[in-house]
């Protein structure tokens, strides 16, 4: 989600934030290594994340 401050107030069931530009949630095009890591983190969070948990991944866009 690109609005983490709003999400903190709304308190969704779970939310994962990656500081990438809008429309680039999984990184740059054709960067399959990074995209795979992000999807694995997403799946781990979907399985093991707690209720009303907000995590921020520390991936860097550049």
CB atoms near residue 4 (< 10 Å) = 13
How much is the pLDDT for 50? 87
pTM (two decimals): 0.74
Residue located via tokens 């991936």: 59
pLDDT one-digit tens code per residue, 40-54:
999 999 899 888 888
Report strand pairing: 53-56 vs 14-17: parallel
pLDDT one-digit tens code per residue, 5-33:
777 777 778 888 888 888 888 888 999 99
Whether 27 contacts 20, CB under 8 Å: yes
């Amino acid at each position: 989600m690109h609005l983490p401050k709003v999400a903190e107030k709304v308190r969704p069931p779970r939310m994962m934030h990656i500081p990438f530009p809008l429309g680039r949630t999984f990184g740059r095009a054709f960067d399959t290594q990074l995209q795979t890591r992000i999807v694995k983190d997403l799946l781990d969070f979907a399985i093991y994340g707690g209720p009303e948990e907000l995590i921020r991944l520390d991936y860097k866009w550049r």
